[in-house]
Protein backbone atom coordinates (compact mmCIF):
# COMPACT_ATOMS: atom_id res chain seq x y z
CA UNK A 1 0.00 0.00 0.00
CA UNK A 2 1.47 3.32 -1.09
CA UNK A 3 1.43 6.36 1.17
CA UNK A 4 2.98 9.67 2.04
CA UNK A 5 3.85 9.89 5.69
CA UNK A 6 4.61 13.08 7.60
CA UNK A 7 6.12 12.69 11.03
CA UNK A 8 6.30 15.66 13.40
CA UNK A 9 6.83 18.12 10.56
CA UNK A 10 7.43 21.73 11.53
CA UNK A 11 8.27 24.69 9.35
CA UNK A 12 9.20 28.17 10.39
CA UNK A 13 10.28 31.18 8.39
CA UNK A 14 12.52 33.08 10.80
CA UNK A 15 10.39 33.62 13.88
CA UNK A 16 7.13 32.78 12.12
CA UNK A 17 6.04 29.24 12.98
CA UNK A 18 3.86 28.19 10.06
CA UNK A 19 3.56 24.44 10.74
CA UNK A 20 4.01 22.75 14.09
CA UNK A 21 4.46 19.05 14.70
CA UNK A 22 2.24 17.80 11.90
CA UNK A 23 1.97 14.01 11.79
CA UNK A 24 -0.26 12.89 8.97
CA UNK A 25 -0.58 9.98 6.55
CA UNK A 26 -1.89 10.49 3.02
CA UNK A 27 -3.24 7.16 1.81
CA UNK A 28 -3.31 5.94 -1.77
CA UNK A 29 -6.38 6.17 -4.02
CA UNK A 30 -8.37 8.56 -1.84
CA UNK A 31 -9.81 12.04 -2.23
CA UNK A 32 -8.66 14.04 0.78
CA UNK A 33 -9.61 17.57 1.81
CA UNK A 34 -7.20 19.84 3.65
CA UNK A 35 -9.23 22.55 5.26
CA UNK A 36 -7.72 25.58 6.91
CA UNK A 37 -8.34 29.29 7.23
CA UNK A 38 -6.21 31.85 5.40
CA UNK A 39 -2.63 31.51 6.54
CA UNK A 40 -3.18 28.16 8.28
CA UNK A 41 -0.22 26.70 6.39
CA UNK A 42 -1.90 24.66 3.64
CA UNK A 43 0.30 25.86 0.76
CA UNK A 44 3.41 25.49 2.89
CA UNK A 45 2.38 21.92 3.74
CA UNK A 46 1.91 21.10 0.04
CA UNK A 47 5.22 22.75 -0.91
CA UNK A 48 7.01 20.65 1.71
CA UNK A 49 5.43 17.42 0.46
CA UNK A 50 6.30 18.29 -3.14
CA UNK A 51 9.92 18.98 -2.12
CA UNK A 52 9.75 22.69 -2.97
CA UNK A 53 10.60 23.58 0.63
CA UNK A 54 12.64 21.88 3.34
CA UNK A 55 11.01 21.17 6.70
CA UNK A 56 12.63 22.85 9.70
CA UNK A 57 12.22 19.52 11.50
CA UNK A 58 10.44 16.21 11.02
CA UNK A 59 10.33 13.81 8.09
CA UNK A 60 8.23 13.40 4.96
CA UNK A 61 8.41 10.01 3.29
CA UNK A 62 6.95 8.46 0.17
CA UNK A 63 6.62 4.71 0.65
CA UNK A 64 9.20 4.85 3.44
CA UNK A 65 11.78 6.92 1.53
CA UNK A 66 12.35 10.63 2.32
CA UNK A 67 10.71 12.57 -0.54
CA UNK A 68 13.84 14.61 -1.16
CA UNK A 69 15.82 11.41 -1.78
CA UNK A 70 13.09 9.40 -3.46
CA UNK A 71 13.67 8.80 -7.19
CA UNK A 72 9.92 8.09 -7.49
CA UNK A 73 8.72 11.33 -5.89
CA UNK A 74 9.23 13.51 -8.99
CA UNK A 75 6.71 11.47 -10.96
CA UNK A 76 4.49 10.22 -8.17
CA UNK A 77 3.85 13.52 -6.39
CA UNK A 78 2.37 16.33 -8.47
CA UNK A 79 1.54 19.75 -7.11
CA UNK A 80 -0.87 22.04 -8.90
CA UNK A 81 0.10 25.47 -7.69
CA UNK A 82 -0.02 28.97 -9.04
CA UNK A 83 3.50 28.90 -10.44
CA UNK A 84 3.93 28.81 -14.19
CA UNK A 85 6.21 25.83 -14.81
CA UNK A 86 6.58 26.36 -18.57
CA UNK A 87 9.15 28.37 -20.52
CA UNK A 88 7.82 31.45 -22.30
CA UNK A 89 6.30 31.66 -24.85
CA UNK A 90 4.15 28.53 -24.51
CA UNK A 91 0.74 27.93 -26.02
CA UNK A 92 -1.94 25.69 -24.52
CA UNK A 93 -1.09 23.06 -27.18
CA UNK A 94 2.66 23.32 -26.39
CA UNK A 95 1.93 22.82 -22.69
CA UNK A 96 -0.01 19.63 -23.41
CA UNK A 97 2.87 18.40 -25.62
CA UNK A 98 5.45 19.12 -22.91
CA UNK A 99 3.38 17.29 -20.30
CA UNK A 100 2.92 14.31 -22.64
CA UNK A 101 6.70 14.09 -23.15
CA UNK A 102 7.49 14.56 -19.49
CA UNK A 103 4.89 12.26 -17.93
CA UNK A 104 4.53 8.84 -19.59
CA UNK A 105 0.85 8.03 -19.08
CA UNK A 106 -0.33 11.68 -19.28
CA UNK A 107 -3.90 11.47 -20.58
CA UNK A 108 -3.38 13.63 -23.67
CA UNK A 109 -6.67 12.76 -25.35
CA UNK A 110 -8.63 13.76 -22.29
CA UNK A 111 -6.57 16.92 -21.85
CA UNK A 112 -7.56 18.02 -25.37
CA UNK A 113 -11.19 17.22 -24.61
CA UNK A 114 -11.09 19.20 -21.35
CA UNK A 115 -9.50 22.26 -22.99
CA UNK A 116 -12.43 22.29 -25.43
CA UNK A 117 -14.99 21.68 -22.67
CA UNK A 118 -13.58 24.51 -20.56
CA UNK A 119 -13.40 26.95 -23.49
CA UNK A 120 -9.60 27.18 -23.93
CA UNK A 121 -8.27 27.68 -27.47
CA UNK A 122 -5.13 25.63 -27.97
CA UNK A 123 -3.20 28.32 -29.86
CA UNK A 124 -3.56 30.79 -27.02
CA UNK A 125 -0.43 31.77 -25.13
CA UNK A 126 -0.49 30.75 -21.47
CA UNK A 127 0.53 34.29 -20.55
CA UNK A 128 -2.60 35.66 -22.25
CA UNK A 129 -5.04 33.51 -20.27
CA UNK A 130 -7.38 35.24 -17.83
CA UNK A 131 -7.02 34.43 -14.12
CA UNK A 132 -9.81 31.86 -14.42
CA UNK A 133 -8.36 30.53 -17.69
CA UNK A 134 -4.92 30.05 -16.14
CA UNK A 135 -6.49 28.19 -13.22
CA UNK A 136 -8.45 26.00 -15.63
CA UNK A 137 -5.25 25.19 -17.55
CA UNK A 138 -3.41 24.17 -14.39
CA UNK A 139 -6.43 22.14 -13.29
CA UNK A 140 -6.55 20.28 -16.63
CA UNK A 141 -2.88 19.35 -16.36
CA UNK A 142 -3.35 18.16 -12.78
CA UNK A 143 -6.32 15.98 -13.74
CA UNK A 144 -4.43 14.37 -16.61
CA UNK A 145 -1.09 13.57 -14.95
CA UNK A 146 -0.72 9.91 -13.99
CA UNK A 147 0.92 10.71 -10.61
CA UNK A 148 -0.20 8.57 -7.68
CA UNK A 149 -0.53 11.66 -5.43
CA UNK A 150 -1.91 14.87 -6.90
CA UNK A 151 -2.07 17.95 -4.67
CA UNK A 152 -4.50 20.69 -5.68
CA UNK A 153 -3.93 23.94 -3.83
CA UNK A 154 -7.12 26.01 -4.01
CA UNK A 155 -7.84 24.48 -7.43
CA UNK A 156 -10.95 26.52 -8.20
CA UNK A 157 -9.60 29.98 -7.32
CA UNK A 158 -10.96 32.43 -9.90
CA UNK A 159 -13.33 29.90 -11.53
CA UNK A 160 -17.01 30.75 -11.77
CA UNK A 161 -19.64 28.50 -10.19
CA UNK A 162 -20.43 26.66 -13.44
CA UNK A 163 -16.78 25.84 -14.15
CA UNK A 164 -16.27 24.81 -10.52
CA UNK A 165 -19.15 22.37 -10.86
CA UNK A 166 -17.67 21.01 -14.12
CA UNK A 167 -14.26 20.72 -12.50
CA UNK A 168 -15.67 18.67 -9.60
CA UNK A 169 -17.39 16.38 -12.12
CA UNK A 170 -14.15 15.98 -14.10
CA UNK A 171 -12.25 15.19 -10.91
CA UNK A 172 -14.71 12.51 -9.87
CA UNK A 173 -14.65 11.07 -13.43
CA UNK A 174 -10.87 10.81 -13.54
CA UNK A 175 -10.81 9.33 -10.06
CA UNK A 176 -13.34 6.67 -11.07
CA UNK A 177 -11.45 5.94 -14.28
CA UNK A 178 -7.94 5.85 -12.76
CA UNK A 179 -8.10 5.91 -8.96
CA UNK A 180 -5.23 7.86 -7.42
CA UNK A 181 -4.96 10.25 -4.52
CA UNK A 182 -6.17 13.82 -4.88
CA UNK A 183 -5.50 16.12 -1.95
CA UNK A 184 -7.50 19.33 -2.23
CA UNK A 185 -7.04 22.44 -0.15
CA UNK A 186 -10.03 24.72 -0.26
CA UNK A 187 -12.16 27.25 1.54
CA UNK A 188 -15.31 26.15 -0.28
CA UNK A 189 -15.79 23.21 2.04
CA UNK A 190 -19.39 22.27 1.41
CA UNK A 191 -18.88 22.33 -2.36
CA UNK A 192 -16.33 19.55 -2.14
CA UNK A 193 -17.51 17.75 0.98
CA UNK A 194 -19.44 15.14 -1.00
CA UNK A 195 -16.34 14.04 -2.94
CA UNK A 196 -13.90 13.76 -0.06
CA UNK A 197 -13.58 10.54 1.83
CA UNK A 198 -10.98 11.90 4.26
CA UNK A 199 -10.53 15.32 5.75
CA UNK A 200 -7.79 17.07 7.68
CA UNK A 201 -8.34 20.35 9.50
CA UNK A 202 -5.29 22.56 9.80
CA UNK A 203 -5.60 25.26 12.42
CA UNK A 204 -2.82 27.83 12.78
CA UNK A 205 -0.22 25.33 11.59
CA UNK A 206 -1.38 22.40 13.70
CA UNK A 207 -3.37 19.38 12.66
CA UNK A 208 -6.63 19.75 14.51
CA UNK A 209 -8.58 16.81 13.15
CA UNK A 210 -8.15 13.92 10.73
CA UNK A 211 -11.15 11.74 9.99
CA UNK A 212 -13.23 9.92 7.44
CA UNK A 213 -15.92 12.36 6.23
CA UNK A 214 -18.66 9.72 6.53
CA UNK A 215 -17.75 9.13 10.19
CA UNK A 216 -17.72 12.84 10.88
CA UNK A 217 -21.06 13.41 9.26
CA UNK A 218 -22.53 10.48 11.19
CA UNK A 219 -21.35 11.67 14.59
CA UNK A 220 -20.63 15.42 14.48
CA UNK A 221 -23.32 17.22 16.46
CA UNK A 222 -23.80 20.60 18.03
CA UNK A 223 -25.41 20.49 21.47
CA UNK A 224 -26.71 23.82 22.69
CA UNK A 225 -28.82 25.22 25.48
CA UNK A 226 -28.53 26.55 29.04
CA UNK A 227 -25.10 25.65 30.41
CA UNK A 228 -26.42 23.55 33.32
CA UNK A 229 -28.68 21.46 31.06
CA UNK A 230 -25.97 20.91 28.42
CA UNK A 231 -23.44 19.93 31.11
CA UNK A 232 -25.91 17.56 32.77
CA UNK A 233 -26.75 15.91 29.46
CA UNK A 234 -23.19 15.57 28.12
CA UNK A 235 -21.55 14.54 31.40
CA UNK A 236 -18.11 13.21 30.48
CA UNK A 237 -18.77 13.05 26.71
CA UNK A 238 -15.64 14.22 24.90
CA UNK A 239 -15.94 17.77 23.55
CA UNK A 240 -14.24 18.86 20.36
CA UNK A 241 -15.07 22.53 20.80
CA UNK A 242 -17.20 24.73 23.02
CA UNK A 243 -18.34 28.32 23.09
CA UNK A 244 -20.32 30.29 25.61
CA UNK A 245 -22.65 33.21 25.22
CA UNK A 246 -23.90 34.39 28.62
CA UNK A 247 -25.70 31.44 30.18
CA UNK A 248 -25.82 29.53 26.91
CA UNK A 249 -23.33 26.80 26.03
CA UNK A 250 -22.73 25.39 22.58
CA UNK A 251 -20.65 22.22 22.40
CA UNK A 252 -19.36 20.38 19.33
CA UNK A 253 -19.21 16.65 19.80
CA UNK A 254 -17.54 14.16 17.45
CA UNK A 255 -18.24 11.00 19.39
CA UNK A 256 -21.63 9.30 19.90
CA UNK A 257 -23.97 11.11 22.29
CA UNK A 258 -25.06 9.56 25.60
CA UNK A 259 -27.67 6.85 25.15
CA UNK A 260 -28.48 6.31 28.84
CA UNK A 261 -30.37 9.61 29.28
CA UNK A 262 -32.85 11.64 27.25
CA UNK A 263 -32.00 14.97 25.65
CA UNK A 264 -33.34 17.63 28.09
CA UNK A 265 -36.25 19.61 26.64
CA UNK A 266 -34.24 22.86 26.69
CA UNK A 267 -31.25 21.34 24.86
CA UNK A 268 -31.02 21.25 21.08
CA UNK A 269 -28.97 18.68 19.17
CA UNK A 270 -28.27 19.45 15.52
CA UNK A 271 -26.13 17.71 12.90
CA UNK A 272 -23.28 19.79 11.47
CA UNK A 273 -22.13 20.19 7.90
CA UNK A 274 -18.40 19.93 7.37
CA UNK A 275 -18.24 23.71 6.99
CA UNK A 276 -20.11 24.31 10.27
CA UNK A 277 -17.90 21.77 12.00
CA UNK A 278 -14.78 23.46 10.71
CA UNK A 279 -15.97 26.89 11.85
CA UNK A 280 -16.89 25.54 15.29
CA UNK A 281 -13.50 23.91 15.70
CA UNK A 282 -11.33 26.71 14.43
CA UNK A 283 -13.06 29.88 15.54
CA UNK A 284 -11.28 31.93 18.15
CA UNK A 285 -11.78 30.45 21.58
CA UNK A 286 -12.80 26.96 20.39
CA UNK A 287 -11.70 24.41 22.98
CA UNK A 288 -8.63 22.47 21.93
CA UNK A 289 -9.28 18.74 21.63
N1 LIG B 1 8.48 31.99 2.00
C2 LIG B 1 7.86 32.53 3.05
N3 LIG B 1 8.50 33.38 3.86
C4 LIG B 1 7.88 33.91 4.95
N5 LIG B 1 6.61 33.65 5.32
C6 LIG B 1 5.92 32.80 4.54
C7 LIG B 1 6.49 32.19 3.38
N8 LIG B 1 5.56 31.37 2.83
C9 LIG B 1 4.46 31.48 3.60
N10 LIG B 1 4.67 32.33 4.62
C11 LIG B 1 3.71 32.68 5.68
O12 LIG B 1 3.25 31.48 6.25
C13 LIG B 1 1.89 31.56 6.63
C14 LIG B 1 1.12 30.43 6.01
O15 LIG B 1 1.07 30.61 4.61
P16 LIG B 1 0.41 29.55 3.64
O17 LIG B 1 0.43 30.17 2.28
O18 LIG B 1 1.06 28.24 3.81
O19 LIG B 1 -1.08 29.48 4.22
P20 LIG B 1 -2.41 28.97 3.50
O21 LIG B 1 -3.13 28.16 4.53
O22 LIG B 1 -2.10 28.33 2.21
O23 LIG B 1 -3.17 30.34 3.29
P24 LIG B 1 -4.25 30.78 2.17
O25 LIG B 1 -5.47 29.95 2.39
O26 LIG B 1 -4.48 32.21 2.49
O27 LIG B 1 -3.61 30.57 0.84
C28 LIG B 1 1.42 32.95 6.19
O29 LIG B 1 1.48 33.79 7.31
C30 LIG B 1 2.44 33.34 5.15
O31 LIG B 1 2.58 34.74 5.09
* Predicted pLDDT at 288: 45
- Give 15 Cα–ligand 1 centroid separation in angstroms: 13
* Residue 26 covered by a domain: yes
Which residues lie across from 22 on neighbouring strands? 9
Among 9, 12, 14, 16, residue to substitute to test ligand 1 (most atoms within 8 Å of Cβ): 16
User: 209 in a domain, yes or no?
Assistant: no
Structural domain boundaries, residue 10: 3-204
* CATH, residue 100: 3.40.50.300
pTM of the entire structure? 0.91
Strand-by-strand arrangement of the 31-36 sheet: 77-80, 149-153, 181-186, 31-36, 198-203, 206-212
Q: Say how far apart CA 31 and CA 196 lie, in whole Å.
A: 5
- Residues 243 and 114 placed together within one structural domain of the fold: no
Q: Are residues 67 and 170 in the same domain?
A: yes
Mean pLDDT of the chain: 92
**Is residue 212 included in any domain, yes or no?**
no
Residue whose CA lies nearest to ligand 1 atom number 13: 39
Rounded CA-CA distance 51/60 in Å is 9
51 domain residue, yes or no: yes
pLDDT attached to residue 22:
98
The answer on 133 and 29 residing in a single domain is: yes
At a CB cut-off of 8 Å and minimum separation 6, what does 110 contact? 143, 144, 174
State whether 226 and 115 are in the same domain: no
Last residue of a domain, one of 161, 179, 204: 204
CA dist 166 to 35, 116, 153, 262, Å? 21, 13, 17, 45
Is residue 82 within 8 A of residue 107, CB to CB? The reply is: no
Does residue 109's CB lie within 6 angstroms of at least one atom of ligand 1?
Answer: no
- 125-151 pLDDT tens trace: 998 998 889 999 999 999 999 999 999
Residues 171 and 278 in one domain: no
ipTM: 0.96
Is there a single domain that holds both residue 153 and residue 226? no
- Which tens digits make up the pLDDT trace of 23-33? 999 999 999 99
Q: Which among 7, 31, 29, 77 has a CA at the least distance from the CA of 212? A: 31
- Element (DSSP H or E) covering residue 131: helix 131-144
State which H helix or E strand residue 231 sits in.
helix 227-234
Report if residue 40 sits inside a domain.
yes
How far is the C-alpha of 226 from the C-alpha of 246, rounded, in Å? 9
Averaged over 56-81, what is the pLDDT? 92
Top pLDDT among 192 and 24 is at 24
14 and 113 housed in the same domain: yes
pLDDT value for 172: 95
- Going by alpha carbons, the residue nearest to atom 5 of ligand 1 is 13
3-state secondary structure of 117: helix
Residues 126 and 7 in one domain: yes
Amino acid sequence: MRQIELTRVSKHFGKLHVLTDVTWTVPEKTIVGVIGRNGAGKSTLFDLIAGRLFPSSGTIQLDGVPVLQSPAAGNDIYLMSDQNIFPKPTTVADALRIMTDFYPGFDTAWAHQLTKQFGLTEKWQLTDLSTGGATIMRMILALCVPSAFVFLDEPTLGMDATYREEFYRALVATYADRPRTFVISTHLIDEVAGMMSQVMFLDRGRKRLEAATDDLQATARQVSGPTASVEAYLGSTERAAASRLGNLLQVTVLTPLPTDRPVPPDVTVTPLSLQQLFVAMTEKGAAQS
